[in-house]
Amino acid sequence: MLVGPWILAPSLTSGFAYDTNVFLASSTSTSSGTISDRVLRVTPGLVAALPFRESLLKLDYSVTRLDYGKTPLERNLSRDAGIDLALNFSTQDRLSLRANRNLGVAETLAFDPGGEVVFRGQGFDLTTYEIEAAREVFGHRGYRVRLSREALSFDPGTTVAFFEFRGIDAEVDYREPLSPRFWAVGDYEGRRYDHFLADEPTGSHEPFRKEDSDVVRVGLQGQLGEREPFLVRVGWGRFRFPGSEGSEYRGIVADASLVIRSGGRTELELGLQRRPWPSFFLNNNYYLVNSANLRLSRRWLQYSTMGIEGWWQEATYGDPVPMNVPQQPGLTRVDRTLRASVYANLMIRERLGVRISVDENHRNSNYLGAGFEGRVYFAGIVLGWI
């Protein structure tokens, strides 16, 4: 909706969920086992956009409150705030400045995309700053240069099986046109991070290890049809961890993505990825992930939508369990994880409706106590620009 020069998009999602395994505990764990609970979830949000001179300033803010029936949390309120400034120039160049702060609780994939750590009720603070310059005009040479800084810390006194970090991530890519809709691409990505133990005050201690990675890739990017982008890249990566005795990764990295649209109402997204992620498991520096993801959505009636999302991955750890560890010494840990979601937004009016969803999260592991299975059922109302 228009308010002066601003475009405002408020939203609200509120409802009840039933979680069969709140902390994604293993049924073979030596702890108290799985905990099921009901939870009230309330998420108001606001996006404000200001267009000017072919450019755009966007502000977004959302709050999520989780009230469990019997499960205590150190923090039950998550806040996510961001600002994005996109400056478009007559030369077809674009300069983007972004900043985001996530004071989260349950969204562990925000700081651990590989999914090693699971929700244990811990609160975290993830801050990201990014600057990007790019030129993306089909049929012409293009480029993209991105530099970001990211920092993660946990609430004081929090016990968590992960590490804090801060560092920079840089990416440079070049695009050579092959046709009006296709580019040959080549890119470099580098990461320089410090990793800290989470139970020590940030800033008053030395990192227990560093992350020093370099990746070079080549591939193809373009559009198969109207609003149907695709990307395929394959390359070589070197992931080093100075300060640690664990092994390093040198090998193939790859990623691919594709969007297919049908009839203006159906959209299919596919993705593949192969890359290592930093680990906090025993003496391991990393685990190598091969993953595939899918999202299928369909708009029906006038405003309603329904869809499915799926994500599968296999994670292989770089080093075997040390021989001095009583549990399964010499074992190389391998995890296979499946996450799936089925949802429907049944709109009564254009900005008012009901949302129902079922989310499945399942991990098989050859390491005792690392596997889990959980399911979340949700039903609630949606209001505004969802």
Query: For 296-309, what is each residue's pLDDT tens digit?
Result: 999 988 889 999 99
pTM of the model: 0.91
CB 286 within 8 A of CB 249: yes
The percent of residues in the chain predicted with pLDDT above 90, rounded, is: 81
pLDDT confidence of residue 202: 52
Cα–Cα distance measured from residue 44 to residue 64, given in angstroms and rounded to the nearest whole number = 7
* Torsion (CA) 314, 320, 321, 327 in degrees, nearest 10: 70
Looking at the structure of the chain, the number of domains it has is 1
CB atoms under 10 Å from CB of 279, counted, come to: 25
Pairing of strands 2-3, 6-19: antiparallel
Answer yes or no: is pLDDT of 346 > 90.
Answer: yes
CATH number at residue 142: 2.40.160
Query: For 172-219, what is each residue's pLDDT tens digit?
Result: 999 999 999 999 999 999 999 999 998 776 555 789 999 999 999 999
pLDDT confidence of residue 131: 99
Containing structural domain, residue 315:
2-384
Average pLDDT over residues 4-17: 97
Mean of the per-residue pLDDT values for the chain? Answer: 93
**Burial tier of 149 (Cβ tally within 10 Å: 0-12, 13-18, 19+):** middle
| Weakest-pLDDT range from 109-118, 136-145, 195-204 | 195-204
The residue that leads in pLDDT, 293 or 73, is 293
